[in-house]
Structure 1
Amino acid sequence: MTLTRLIIGAVLSLACGAGLAADFKTVGTAPAVLYDAPSTKGHKLYIVPRGAPLEIVLAYGDWVKVRDVNGDTAWTPLRGLTAKRNVVARAANTKVRSAEDEASAVVFIADKGVLLELLEPGANGWTRVRHRDGLTGFVRSSEIWGN
């Protein structure tokens, strides 16, 4: 009986953890206007440039509450976001390497705030990314936001 309870508890634990994974979208071709409420009648707070990643916090009809790279939350219409995934370099001199290894060659260095396309989500603490110039490589998952 105790073993069964342990197994059920472990399965439920894993199921709950999977449901807590962050959901990210990217601002589409036009900049996104962020509001203080889920309506165009709300106050406009700020504009997020195209290509910027946003974390979906809550969905309400055709609107989503999002969190930006600075941790600020606001509302925006879901139709302005795309499933394409971009990430942002968190710090100056973020090294993008040729392989998932600190000893591998540096392909390029991204400055703080540089947008990178997410190619493959993090494995073993590394994420494969592409710069808009076409260069690709691996960056430590902890050094980017939006993954």
Structure 2
Amino acid sequence: MKTALRLLSLLALSTGVASHAYALDFKSVGAAPAVLYDAPSEKGRRVFVAPRNMPVEVVLTYGEWSKVRDSAGSLSWVSSKALQAKRMLVVTAANAKIRTAPNDTGAVTFSADKNVLLELVEPAASGWVKIRHRDGQTGYAKASELWGD
């Protein structure tokens, strides 16, 4: 049994499957609010209306439906057409300081309160993410103070 598990592990590593097994696929609700359901069907129970640009993690795609996780960890289903590739992030800290440089010594450009939506400009590097506020201001925020990256 142990030999079989080792062979499967080696096969997964050699084919690249293991490197994608835990890849996160983040998207955002499109330009219009989207209804989230408890099942992959409009006949399912409506559980939430997601505001436009809300970031979600796509856990599974089933036909024209996506099972998504929100920043609170709740799982629900949404029509895949309601999602966009544009990456948005939500502030999880009480007050995130957005800086001019990706470090703690960069000047503070602005601050963003909890639940503020920010657009991802550049993915995380060394614990910092380049973001853009809807008013056009850009800067760097600590990745640990955001969800959706």
Quote the offset at 1:17 in angstroms.
3.0
| Identical-pair percentage | 53
1:21 counterpart letter in structure 2: A
* Structure 2 equivalent of residue 53 of structure 1: 55
Where in structure 2 are there 5+ consecutive unaligned residues? Answer: 1-5
User: What's the TM-score once normalised by structure 2's chain length?
Assistant: 0.89
Q: TM-score, normalised by structure 1?
A: 0.90
- Are residue 97 (structure 1) and residue 99 (structure 2) matched? yes
Q: Write out aligned runs for 1:1-147 (5 A).
A: 9=10, 12=13, 15=16, 16-147=18-149
Q: Tell me by how many angstroms 1:14 deviates.
A: 9.7
One-letter amino acid matched to 2:24: A
* Stretches (4+) displaced over 3 A: none
Query: CA–CA distance in 2 between the matches of 1:138 and 1:21?
Result: 23
* Paired residue total: 140
Shift of 1:19: 3.5
State how far apart, in whole Å, the 1-side matches of 2:94 and 2:120 are: 19
Note the aligned Cα RMSD (angstroms): 1.8
Distance across 2 between alignment mates of 1:72 and 1:13? 34
Q: Distance in 2 between matches of 1:29 and 1:126?
A: 27
Query: What letter corresponds to residue 144 of structure 1 in structure 2?
Result: L
Report the CA distance between 1:13 and its aligned residue: 8.0
